């Protein structure tokens, strides 16, 4: 069973919100649904939005229904693509099909959505259910058949339309905490056949909410000649009853072209949780220059969150979210409904501009920020710094950078904006480093897509070339293997971040520890074998387990680095041999055997 080493990163992603919000199912109006159809430009021959208020029902038998995460919330590397329904911090609640249809896909892995099911419905939409504990008996049998056929715990396969039909209200699974979940809950999505994901609130799942969003800070960015020479200016806002202003009522800035970001979050009745914002609009006088609305997003657009938020603040200040109210030229996310000059405010006329910024939730509660904005060349708020760089990367071109030690090739579409790229290298004093240490700009510079990276090795014995890997270190000091292939003195790999890179060797075997079996222990009452598996560098990519020489399914949980094998209670009385084989990405292989009795 193959597990990409990078899936270990997914296990580190946890729910950012830990408080819960009441939800009621309400009736969507025909006019709202028609407006949605028009705005999303759905192919009318293939899709019809449900006008029946009862078309989609609740996926859980929990009252009141609550959520721990909403649609479109900015997360570390993506926009959240569904609703996270709370399951009272417990596993094992019945999960229901929300409408008639058929099971069209089953996806099981140790990270991501864990155990996940997908139902295709007659109206053309697909509902997804993630982090499940287990499926119903029919689906578990179908899953096990696939796993044994492929001798793999992780599987992702599609089913034929008539293979497993479901009716609205059928129990399809039990809720759980599998995959990258940070606690028991149900992740729920509504998609179309083109893998575009829709805000479930559009289909009648509505938050009970009469509280206005909260606004804490504004940040201003120079977008003229001072761009890239200033870190911007942040100011706190003050207000009550959902109306905010800045101290003095006016902000004077030494830049004629200004972008704004707003630090805001939504709140809900009977909860102190901070959840994502649904809608943001910005007006310069009477003219709307920017609108953000979280109705729909494609999976291919999720990483645009790196451009939408002020990412250095997000990463360095405990995920504090500043929504940029201007759009960088390489950001093509469909959440921007209305734009005038990409949201950039032109202050070149020297006049005081009346700016008002509205932040609203799906229930229509609105917070308003009002202030004046004016160009003043004597202002010192946007502090200028010296711009030093090695070369400029253009967002609308392919970019290459190389010297005798390193080669980079960035495809078109890799960058959100022009990057004034800084490069440096230094010799390492570490005995287990086999290259210089390369600084590719810094980890605060956002990159949308993968690029090619080749690093020259130093003092690498060719006999160990297949054990050499590229290591990435971000601004927090966290390291990740990027693998790579050795050829002609260089290791070539794919990277998706700027920051620090170097080469190390991975010759260490994965660690395998059986936790609850001692030699010859009778396991009849224990029922499960628990195994801890870890790797020091390149990451586990493969594991297999056997009982008496036959491959058996064992469940993997990446966030806990745990394997759990449920013993077949029909095993014969007497001695048996359990074996686990674990391989890392550099093909270091560990085998552990243990005898037990039944």
pLDDT in tens, 246-278: 999 999 999 999 999 999 999 887 666 788 999
Residue 516 falls within a domain, yes or no?
yes
Answer yes or no: are the C-beta atoms of 399 and 445 closer than 8 Å.
Answer: no
H or E element, residue 118: strand 115-120
Tell me: do 90 and 197 sit in the same domain.
yes
What tokens were used for 239?
A: 């207000």
User: Mean pLDDT in the chain?
Assistant: 90
**Range(s) of the domain holding residue 18:** 7-207
Tell me: do 435 and 312 sit in the same domain.
no
Task: Examine the fold and report which residue of 175, 207, 239 is the final residue of a domain before the chain moves on.
Answer: 207
Tell me: do 547 and 454 sit in the same domain.
no
Residue 412 falls within a domain, yes or no?
yes
Tell me: do 168 and 139 sit in the same domain.
yes
Q: How far apart are the C-alpha atoms of 127 and 101, rounded to whole Å?
A: 10
Residue 107 falls within a domain, yes or no?
yes
Tell me: do 35 and 167 sit in the same domain.
yes
Tell me: do 36 and 165 sit in the same domain.
yes
The backbone region for 72, taken as left when phi is positive above 0, alpha when psi lies in -120 to 50, beta otherwise, is left
Q: Which of 74 and 2 is assigned the larger pLDDT?
A: 74
Residue 205 banded pLDDT, cuts 50, 70, 90: confident
Tell me: do 515 and 494 sit in the same domain.
no
pLDDT in tens, 161-176: 999 999 999 999 999 9
> Which CATH number goes with the domain that contains 550?
2.60.40.1220
Least trusted range by pLDDT, from 31-45, 242-256, 382-396, 453-467? 31-45
pLDDT in tens, 440-449: 999 999 999 9
Q: Kindly provide the b/e burial profile for residues 379-391, where b requires at least 16 CB atoms within 10 angstroms of the residue's own CB.
A: eebbeeeeeeeee
What tokens were used for 39?
A: 């705005």
H or E element, residue 140: helix 137-150
Using alpha carbons, select from 471, 465, 458, 256 the residue that is nearest to residue 351. 256
Tell me: do 38 and 141 sit in the same domain.
yes
What tokens were used for 506?
A: 């991975």
pTM of the full predicted structure? Answer: 0.89
pLDDT in tens, 141-161: 999 999 999 999 999 999 999
Q: How far apart are the C-alpha atoms of 310 and 73, rounded to whole Å?
A: 14
Answer yes or no: are the C-beta atoms of 75 and 81 closer than 8 Å.
Answer: no
Q: Which DSSP symbol is given to 48?
A: -
Residue 12 falls within a domain, yes or no?
yes
Tell me: do 127 and 68 sit in the same domain.
yes
Tell me what percent of the chain is helix, strand and coil, each rounded to the nearest 5.
10, 45, 45
> Which CATH number goes with the domain that contains 105?
2.70.70.10
Q: First and final CA of the chain: distance in angstroms?
A: 27
Residue 150 falls within a domain, yes or no?
yes
Tell me: do 500 and 515 sit in the same domain.
no
> Which CATH number goes with the domain that contains 414?
2.60.220.30
Number of domains the chain is built from: 4
CA dist list (Å): 66 to 18, 84, 88:
12, 8, 9
Tell me: do 405 and 461 sit in the same domain.
yes
- What is the number of other CB atoms lying within 10 angstroms of the CB of residue 317? 12
Task: Examine the fold and report which residue of 312, 340, 375 is the final residue of a domain before the chain moves on.
Answer: 375
Residue 44 banded pLDDT, cuts 50, 70, 90: very low
The answer, yes or no, to whether the previous bond of 64 is cis (omega within 30 of 0) is yes
Tell me: do 579 and 529 sit in the same domain.
yes
């Amino acid at each position: 069973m193959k597990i990409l080493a990078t899936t270990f990163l997914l296990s580190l992603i946890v729910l950012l919100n830990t408080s819960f919000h009441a939800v009621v199912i309400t009736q969507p109006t025909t006019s709202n649904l028609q407006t949605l159809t028009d705005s999303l430009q759905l192919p009318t021959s293939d899709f019809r939005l449900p006008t029946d208020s009862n078309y989609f029902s609740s996926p859980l038998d929990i009252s009141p229904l609550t959520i721990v995460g909403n649609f479109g919330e900015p997360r570390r590397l993506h926009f959240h693509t569904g609703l996270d329904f709370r399951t009272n911090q417990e596993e094992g609640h019945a999960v229901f099909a929300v409408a008639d249809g058929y099971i069209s896909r089953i996806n099981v892995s140790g990270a991501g959505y864990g155990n996940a099911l997908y139902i295709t419905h007659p109206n053309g939409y697909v509902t997804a259910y993630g982090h499940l504990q287990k499926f119903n008996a029919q689906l578990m049998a179908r899953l096990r058949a696939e796993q044994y056929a492929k001798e793999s715990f992780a599987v992702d396969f599609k089913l034929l339309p008539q293979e497993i039909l479901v009716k609205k209200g059928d129990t399809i699974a039990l809720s759980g905490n599998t995959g990258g979940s940070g606690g028991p809950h149900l992740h729920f999505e509504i998609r179309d056949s083109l893998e575009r994901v829709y805000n479930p609130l559009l289909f009648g799942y509505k938050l009970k909410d009469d509280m206005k969003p909260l606004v804490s800070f504004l940040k201003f960015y120079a977008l003229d000649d001072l761009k890239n020479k200033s870190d911007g200016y942040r100011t706190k806002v003050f207000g009550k009853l959902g109306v905010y202003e800045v101290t003095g009522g006016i902000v004077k800035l030494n830049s004629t072209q200004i972008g704004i970001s707003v630090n805001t979050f939504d709140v809900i009745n009977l909860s102190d949780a901070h959840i994502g914002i649904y809608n943001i609009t910005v007006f310069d006088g009477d003219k709307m220059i920017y609108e953000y609305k979280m109705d729909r997003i494609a999976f291919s657009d999720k990483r645009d969150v790196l451009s939408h938020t002020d990412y250095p603040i997000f990463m360095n200040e405990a995920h504090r979210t500043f929504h940029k109210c201007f759009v960088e030229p390489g950001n093509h996310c469909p959440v921007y409904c209305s734009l005038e000059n990409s949201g950039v405010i032109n202050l070149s006329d020297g006049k005081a501009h009346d700016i008002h910024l509205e932040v609203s939730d799906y229930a229509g509660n609105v917070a308003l920020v009002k202030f004046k904005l004016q160009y003043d060349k004597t202002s010192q708020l946007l502090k200028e710094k010296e711009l030093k760089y090695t070369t400029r990367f253009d967002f609308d071109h392919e970019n290459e950078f190389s010297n005798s030690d390193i080669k980079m090739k960035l495809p078109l579409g890799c960058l959100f904006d022009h990057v004034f790229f800084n490069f440096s290298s230094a010799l390492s004093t570490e005995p287990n480093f086999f290259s210089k240490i390369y600084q590719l700009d810094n980890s605060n510079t956002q990159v949308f897509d993968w690029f090619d990276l080749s690093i020259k090795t130093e003092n690498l014995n060719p006999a160990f070339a297949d054990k050499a890997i590229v290591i990435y270190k971000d601004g927090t000091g966290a390291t990740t293997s990027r693998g790579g292939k050795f050829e002609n003195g260089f290791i070539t790999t794919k990277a998706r971040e700027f920051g620090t890179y170097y080469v190390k060797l991975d010759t260490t075997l994965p660690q395998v520890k059986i936790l609850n079996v001692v030699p010859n222990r009778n396991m009849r009452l224990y029922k499960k074998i628990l195994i801890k598996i870890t790797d020091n560098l390149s990451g586990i990519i493969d594991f297999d387990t056997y009982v008496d020489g036959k491959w058996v399914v064992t469940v993997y949980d990446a966030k806990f680095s745990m394997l759990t094998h449920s013993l077949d209670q029909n095993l014969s009385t007497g001695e048996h041999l359990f074996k686990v084989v674990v391989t890392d990405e550099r093909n270091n292989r560990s085998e552990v055997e243990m005898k037990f009795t039944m």
